[in-house]
Amino acid sequence: MMDHLVLGAMMFGTTTDEKRAFALLDRFVDAGGSWIDTANCYAFWADPGGFGGQSEALLGRWLARRPGVRDRVRISTKVGCEPLEAGRYPETAEGLGAQTIKDAIEGSLRRLGTDRVELYWAHKDTRRTPVEETVAAFGELVDAGLVGRLGCSNFAAWRLERSRRVAADLGVTGYTAVQQHVTYLEPRPGTRPSVVHRFGNFNDELRAYAESHQDIDIWSYTPLLSGSYTRADKPLAPEYDHPGTARRLAALDTVAAETGTTRNHVVLAWLTGGCPAVMPIVGPSTVPQLDEAIAALSLSLTAEQRSLLDSAA
């Protein structure tokens, strides 16, 4: 089940210092975890210089510190959102041009101190580059052995389908994973929480697409709403202020009481045990927070509990 949990390294090297980050990485891998998610732009907004790369560089130092661990972990990183000018995001985001993709993977591999990554993501869709150019460039990385698989994040369903169709027409590897925002609560229709990119919500169209294409894996960013399910000092965003939220939180509390767990446990179990299943990316800042997420993997919801959660809309 640890294969279903992803450790998010977004703040490693910036707000999460090296000592704490190494402790989290050690605990995750020693517990049997393998997937670690980062990006070339992490975390430009938290670094005084205004550019990213700190997370990948820290991971590279950790890998060097633990000989042999590279064979036990799978690295997921991204291209597309690194600003080209400090303080001017998103207007100067690097995008998904062919040369950008080539340069970005070289930089990521150098910082990580590795010769490959297991999964490489288009971080955010862009319309300024032809789909054919982006898809061909990603395909070349797979052919060169630098990348194992490809995924896209914050894409509309029709853009995912078009990209996969183009990849098939070109005879290159296409996207087989999507990374979107998936959680138990739902924002008010017509709104989007600030942590979610445009087209970042996992909506019904993407769900239906994933149900019809068994080769698509679903990853979720910010599945626990940055602590808002359980922490009084982390209130829910205004977009969740509607009657459906009260009903869903009540259902969470009922199942948590029945199982002797927490809302976080139930949310993670609901995601990983769903159909289609979702791989949550958790971004703990302490080892106890990580241990809570790991413990959730042993929680198996009954059919009645899942029905209660699903119907509480």
Of all helices (H) and strands (E), which one includes residue 28? helix 18-30
**pTM recorded for the entire structure:** 0.96
CA distance 74 to 31: 15
The per-residue pLDDT for 3 is: 86
pLDDT in tens, 14-64: 999 999 999 999 999 999 999 999 999 999 999 999 999 999 999 999 999
- What average pLDDT does this structure show over 130-150? 98
**Would the pLDDT of 194 be above 90?**
no
- What average pLDDT does this structure show over 285-306? 95
**Would the pLDDT of 1 be above 80?**
no
Longest Cα–Cα distance in the chain? 54
- Which of helix, strand or coil describes residue 184? coil
**What's domain 2-231+267-300's architecture?**
Alpha-Beta Barrel (3.20)
Q: Categorize the per-residue pLDDT at 6 as very low, low, confident or very high, splitting at 50, 70 and 90.
A: very high
Q: Categorize the per-residue pLDDT at 190 as very low, low, confident or very high, splitting at 50, 70 and 90.
A: confident
**Would the pLDDT of 195 be above 90?**
no
The per-residue pLDDT for 89 is: 95
CA-based Rg of the chain, rounded to a whole angstrom?
A: 19
The per-residue pLDDT for 278 is: 97
Residues belonging to the chain: 313
pLDDT in tens, 107-116: 999 999 999 9
**Would the pLDDT of 2 be above 90?**
no
The per-residue pLDDT for 193 is: 84
**Would the pLDDT of 313 be above 80?**
no
pLDDT in tens, 72-89: 999 999 999 999 999 999
Tokens of 122: 């288009």
